[in-house]
Structure 1
Amino acid sequence: MKKFFYRLFGFSLGPILGAVISFIQVPVLTYFLSVDEYGYAGAFQTLLLQLPNFIYIGIDQAYTREYHTSDDKRHLIQAALFIPMLVGLIIFAVFILFDGTISNYLFNSPDYTYIVWYSAIWILSAILERFILLSIRMEERAYEYSMYNLMLKIGVFALSMILIAIGMRDFRVIVYGLIFGQIVVDLYLFYKYRSLLNFKGFSVDKSLIRRMFWFGLPLMVATALQSALNSVDIMFLKQYSTVADQGVYSVGIRIAGVIGIIKTAFSSFWVPTAYRWYEEKKSMKHYKFISDAILLVLTFLFYCLLLFKKPVGWLVSTQDPGYLNVQYIFALLCFPHIMYTLSETTTLGIVFSRKTQYNIWVSVLTIIPSLLMNALLTPVWGYRGAALASTVAYIMFYLARTYFSSRTGFYFGQKLQLISIIIMTLAAILNAFDIAYIEWLTIGLGILTVLVQWPTIATSLDIRRQPDLWDFN
């Protein structure tokens, strides 16, 4: 158990410290940038960060599946990079050829073509970064993986602060911070792992590339739909609401990212651990306890954020009162992180069985309610409607992942999860409006949610008393 927590802590360290930096960055940016400027930057961030997910074609996940079966790691990573880099170069060319059109769509002006060019370079850098980080992660070098992710956050934050210090006060602060803050740190990563990127003597391994491609293709379709899902809210807000609403929504996403610490840390740790457990044939009770335990941690963080929603609202609205409304939606925006993290413990049957085609159905069943809810709610409720649509879509994402995984034979009881999700959803919806005594209602619902999960606490105590019956190493 000690080794388990040691690795978990190692993978968590970077995301936790990185989240602290991001949390500090939010009020600083909202102090210097108007809500409209944040809206432009938020739309750019959302759309740009989704692009690499299309480009990987699922081969990044195929790479992790093949990792422990390959003896030549350099050959494996170069084979895995082959198709994504080709696609990345095509996207690069598209960005250069249609720079004015893309600039006009993102910033309502054709004058920012140079940002489109910078973004094209960022995309190629992001592809290389992704596979090198996967290599570090699959070797379970937890602290190194964490420290690199922390360096990324520091790079973005430091550059943003430098731009503010020299007098920049528009959306370019966030855009340049994202692009160049990451590229600078990536250059260090590429130098350190230049041996993996040394293509001297490289030959196209058609058999390996084909195997990874067919494993990843269904994942690519699913990921494309998933990326579209993550962009639907912003697209509807751009179409039916104001730039100010986009700004409030974007800040809400950043604040909800506090609970995303657990998602990032846990997912980074869990994937290599789960694959190893599968090879070691761990019993299902181990997977179930991890799922129950992560739910308890997420529940605690969720209600803590809710109870501090007003101070957070005051903090980000010191200069522009428009940001104050963020307090109403960041609880709803926590659900994508919560549902994704929980589903990581229940979806394992899909990857273990290599039936990745199920992920397509998961994404289809997720994006349909997102489109319907956004069409119904966003034109009427603005940022509230978009946030509620995101909540509903990700609850469906969790349910669909769990169901299709169960069809492969990987399943454990979800009673605690389902009841807790219902109560937490109710709490988030109530907190989306200005209701009297909302703090007391929130505390009551929080206590009820913890009581529902009392069996998890009891199991934890049992593990402590009888550690020989449990092996989490």
Structure 2
Amino acid sequence: MKQYLRGFLSFSLGTWFRAIIGFISTPVISYLIVPEEFGRASMFTLVYNVALLFSLLGLDQSFVRYYYEKQDKSETFWNCLIPSVVFGMGISVIFILFERPLSVVLYGKHYRWIGLLFALSLLTGILQRYNQLSIRMQKKGILFSTLDIISSLGNFGGTVLFVLTLSGSFYAIVLGQIVGNISALIAGFLADRSSRKFAKLNINLLRIFLKYGLPFVPSSLLYWLFSSIDRISLRQYSTFTEIGLYSAAFKIVSVMQLLQSGFTTFWIPVAYEKYELNNDSKEFFKKANTMVSAILFVAGIFVLGFKDLIFLLFAKSYREASYIAPFLILYPIMYTISETTVLGINFSKKTHWHIVITSLSAIANFLGNTLLVPILGARGAAVSTGLSYILFFILRTVIAKKYYPVDFDLGRIYLCTLLTITVAAAGTFVKNYAFYGILCVLVMLAILLIYRDAFSYIKNQLRKK
């Protein structure tokens, strides 16, 4: 287990530096860009994400799945990258040709150059996806973290530069993202050239990759819909200012999302390699699930406990977002824990189940947003999204166990989930700071007691290290 803790820490270095950069940059940007422009940037990101999903054709998932099975890593890399780039170029042309109607649908009016910005974001996003994956699958944790840091610094620096030189509109946020992608791409190529020697397309190999990867396109699209219904509903029933506050509320859980990103980045190659070497590794997966669950629940309550203090760093116009954030904490918690329980679906290559799971979760989220957003606005969207991710976790876990039964300690997970919901509800609807603070402390102590064996193990390992 020590080697896995070391591996996780090496992949997480970038995560924590990103958290520090985000902690500094987000309040700074909140003083430079108004919530309404944050809302417009959020809508841009929605369209960008769905275009990226179509462009990848699920081949990024094939790259991960077959990386350890194929001897020629360069051939695997290029047979996944080239079709994705070609398809992405086609989508980019559509963005440029239909710039005006796309802009009108998103924003109600035409924003010049928006099509070109979509195209640049998409193509750099595709290249950056494979840039990171190549390094990730080689388990070069320090290099991976370095690229994370370079991307974050480029993003922040580019955004501030464009705000100061052009305008405080959402263009600056988009351009900052492109600068971050390009910075990481250059660094990754220079550091990892030996693993990317050009290889021609192999039709038979591509056919295998597409057969595995294509089912991820509808499931990923449904997941995009599932995770975007909140902002789509706010766009329909509310204003760009509310969307901006909702986007700012996500910043409060950014530390948790970085934990999620750091863990899943490290976990996927480790899990596949462990399974390929010994497909009877159930005790290992159970222990990993216990450790991850314990850390995430404690971290989630800790972040919620300090949410009001954190938002004091933001511009005054963003302070209301502190009452939107609490239920959103369930998203990174439940998603990350589910990454340790969903393995049976991926090991058995029954990827069609991802479509079923995401569809049911998306329907639940749609119904919740339709009911709550007109009444509670952004707070309603947060409540619906958080609860939907609990359903997402349950479905992933139950179905995966049918194909690869692992005796996860689900009783503790459900109990801690209920405690987290209690804190989130108080943080959303109660403005008595003393009561809320006491509740956070009591729930934190309860979780530490529930997972005392896990924290005792972690403490001993750190002490030995």
- TM interval, shorter chain, is over 0.9
Which of these residues, 234, 237, 259, is aligned with residue 237 of structure 1? Answer: 234
**Cα distance, 1:284 vs. partner?**
1.7
- The structure-2 alpha-carbon separation of the partners of 1:464 and 1:431, relative to structure 1 and needing over 3 Å to count, comes to closer
Asked whether the 8 Å contact 1:23–1:255 carries over to 2, the reply is no
Partner SS for 2:67: helix
Aligned to 1:388: 383
User: 1:449 aligned to 418, 422, 447, which one?
Assistant: 447
CA distance in 1, matches of 2:78, 2:24: 38
Q: Which residue of 2 aligns with 1:416?
A: 412
Q: Which moved more, 1:128-137 or 1:396-405?
A: 128-137
C-alpha separation in 2, matches of 1:47 and 1:128: 18
TM superposition shift of 1:226:
0.4
Q: Is residue 133 from structure 1 mapped to residue 96 from structure 2 by the alignment?
A: no
Letter in 2 for 1:432: T
Residues 136 and 265, structure 2, Cα contact 8 Å, conserved in 1: yes
In the TM superposition, 1:162-311 aligns within 5 A as 162-166=161-165, 168-190=167-189, 192-193=191-192, 199=198, 202-281=199-278, 283-311=281-309
Deviation at 1:403, TM superposition (A): 1.2
Separation in 2, partners of 1:208, 1:167: 47
Post-superposition shift, 1:183? 2.5
Contact 2:307 2:322 in 1 (8 A): yes
The DSSP-based 3-state class of the residue aligned with 2:111 is helix
- 1:326 lines up with 2:321 in the alignment: yes
For 1:69, what is the secondary structure of its paired residue? coil
Equivalent of 1:425 in 401, 421, 427 = 421
Residue identity matched to 2:128:
E
When residues 165 and 62 of structure 1 are mapped into structure 2, their CA distance, relative to the original with a 3 A threshold, is same
Q: Normalising by the residue count of structure 2, what TM-score does the alignment of the two structures yield?
A: 0.93
> Which residue identity lines up with residue 102 of structure 2 in the other structure?
I
Write the distance in 2 (CA, Å) between the matches of 1:391 and 1:325: 18
Write the distance in 1 (CA, Å) between the matches of 2:9 and 2:463. 22
Using the size of structure 1 for normalisation, the TM-score is: 0.92
Aligned length: 461
Deviation string, structure 1 residues 91-136 (Cα, Å, up to 9, x no partner): 1121011111122233332133x13212212212221221232111
| 3-state SS, counterpart of residue 10 of structure 1 | helix
Deviations 1:268-311 (Å, cap 9, x if unpaired)? 11011111211232532221111111111112211111111111
> How far apart are the structure 1 equivalents of 2:462 and 2:120?
51
For the residue of structure 2 that corresponds to 1:204, the secondary structure is coil
Partners of 1:69 and 1:58 in 2: CA distance: 18
Q: Do residues 150 (structure 1) and 149 (structure 2) align? A: yes
Map 1:305-384 → 2, pairs under 5 A: 305-317=303-315, 321-384=316-379
Tell me the amino acid that sits aligned with residue 415 of structure 1: G
Query: Is the 8 Å Cα contact of residues 47 and 231 (structure 1) preserved in structure 2?
Result: no
The offset of 1:334, in angstroms, is 1.7
**Residue 335 of structure 1, CA deviation:** 1.5
Quick check: 1:160–1:173 contact (8 Å CA) kept in 2? yes
Q: Secondary structure at the match of 2:169?
A: coil
Quick check: 1:46–1:230 contact (8 Å CA) kept in 2? no
Residues 237-272 of structure 1: CA distance to partner in whole angstroms, max 9, x if unpaired?
011011211111011112211111110110111011
1:98 corresponds in structure 2 to: 98
Q: What is the rounded CA distance, in whole Å, between the counterparts of 2:256 and 2:269 in structure 1?
A: 22
Distance 1:52 1:367, change over 3 A: same
Q: 1:212 & 1:434 partners in 2: Cα distance? A: 51
Per the alignment, residue 470 of structure 1 pairs with none
Structure 2 contact 2–461 (Cα < 8 Å) conserved: no
Which 5+ residue runs of structure 1 have no aligned equivalent?
Answer: 468-473
Q: Give the CA deviation at 1:196.
A: 5.9
Distance apart, 1:398 and its partner CA: 0.9
State the identity %: 29
How far the C-alpha of 1:172 sits from its partner, in A, is: 2.1
Identify unmatched segments of 5+ residues in structure 2: none
Shift of 1:166: 3.2
In structure 2, C-alpha distance between the alignment counterparts of 1:315 and 1:149, rounded to whole Å = 24
**Which stretch has the larger CA shift, 253-262 or 157-166?**
157-166
Cα distance in 1 between the residues matched to 2:255 and 2:50: 20
SS of equivalent residue, structure 1 residue 274:
helix
CA distance in 2, matches of 1:182, 1:335: 28
Question: Are the aligned partners of 1:244 and 1:322 in contact in 2 as well (CA < 8 Å)?
Answer: no
Distance 1:394 1:451, change over 3 A: same
1:57-107 Cα offsets, whole Å, 9 max, x none, are: 222111111111111111111111243223212211210111111222333
